[in-house]
Amino acid sequence: MTAGPARPQVSYMRVSITDRCNQRCVYCMPPEGVALKTHTAILSYEELARVIRCAVPLGVRSVRLTGGEPLVRRGIVDFAASVAAIPGVDDLALTTNGVLLADLARDLRRAGVRRVNVSLDSLRPDRYRRITRRDAFAAAWTGVEAALAAGLAPVKINTVVVRGLNDDEIEEMALAAAAGARLIWRFIELMPLGEARGFGPDALVTADEIVGRLAAAAARRGLALTEDTQGQEPLGAGPARYFRLGAGRIGVISPMTHGFCSTCNRLRLTSDGRVHPCLTSSLEIDLAGPLRAGASDAELTRLLAWAVSLKPEAHRMRERRPELAERRMSRIGG
């Protein structure tokens, strides 16, 4: 990859606070999991907050806490409150699998988290168990309901669509969202990263196919699927294309067939202090070393600015390059 022309201002940072996860999704991890970082290798909450503060001068206004599964790390509520209090951070969100969300939703809302995305790849408990290798569908759905009750609405459900695995549930999921405006279902094209490479290229269900299937399903029920050109993410932080269906909204994210690299406004910070200009690139900027060696805030901001300058013009995932096998979502925050 080579650095491209002038990029949009980076306004969004995804911050992975742990590489640990309480699930083993088939497109993300092997059944036995992956080698984990030591506790000393993981940045402390104070170090993570300092990096976020140093990103604000570059234009970062929106922060999303991710993992692994962020809710498995103790102290997440207090950390969320400390991030929400950083001057210049105007939007704080969290991505979770929802399994531990029921007990934390209200506290997270009070701490300043505005929105949550919940990763959920099936509405069928038996299939959910096969995909996640955990019997936790009830806990995850209870987490969704708790988030709605806590005011973390609308809740976005993220579903990675895999042909032959869960693509037959697209219509059912969309209709669940169509019932009201508090739940938004987003369908994501499968990316050939990590374990997902084992599915092969035929497993990809394209965004165009998803939209076509949803339009046909809506027509059969006397509904209309219409593009929602006003429904953008807060602060322009997301790549989804949105549609109205009934009283609800549907999102489609197409990293494979309709790339959004030219408008990408995000950086990713891993739990061990590496900044990734691009999800699919092995390029990373080490912040942990300078951070722990006494670097000033100005020096850290310069390193972050360097990472921004290295954002590539486009990814090359369609080439299914061998090195993508090492790009695991659980390690780089998705």
DSSP letter string over 63-97? Answer: EEEESS-GGGSTTHHHHHHHHHTSTT--EEEEEE-
DSSP letter string over 236-283? Answer: G----EEEEETTEEEEEE-TTTS--GGG--EEEE-TTSEEESSTT---
Q: What is the pLDDT of residue 36?
A: 82
Q: What is the pLDDT of residue 3?
A: 47
Picking from 135, 113, 194, 136, the residue whose alpha carbon sits closest to that of residue 160 is 194
Q: What is the pLDDT of residue 60?
A: 97
3-state secondary structure of 119: strand
With tokens 């549609």, the residue in question is 243
Picking from 205, 223, 203, 204, the residue whose alpha carbon sits closest to that of residue 215 is 223
Question: Cis peptide before 57, with omega less than 30 degrees from 0?
Answer: no
In order along its 334 residues, the chain shows pLDDT tens digits of 444 445 568 899 999 999 999 999 999 888 877 778 888 999 999 999 999 999 999 999 999 999 999 999 999 999 999 999 999 999 999 999 999 999 999 999 999 999 999 999 999 999 999 999 999 999 999 999 999 999 998 899 999 999 999 999 999 999 989 887 789 999 999 988 878 878 888 999 999 999 999 999 999 999 999 998 765 554 444 678 999 998 889 999 998 887 666 677 889 999 999 999 887 777 899 999 999 999 999 999 999 999 998 887 765 555 555 444 454 555 666 5
Task: Tell me the two tokens of residue 330.
Answer: 């659980």
Give the CATH class of 12-332: alpha beta
Q: What is the pLDDT of residue 247?
A: 85
On the CB side of 8, how many CA atoms lie within 13 Å of its CA? 15
Q: What is the pLDDT of residue 147?
A: 97
Please report, as a single letter, which amino acid is at residue 84: A
Q: What is the pLDDT of residue 236?
A: 45
Count of helix runs (H) and strand runs (E) in the chain: 10, 12
pTM score over 0.75? yes
Picking from 164, 105, 153, 119, the residue whose alpha carbon sits closest to that of residue 24 is 119
End-to-end CA distance of the chain: 19
Domain segments of the chain as ranges? 12-332
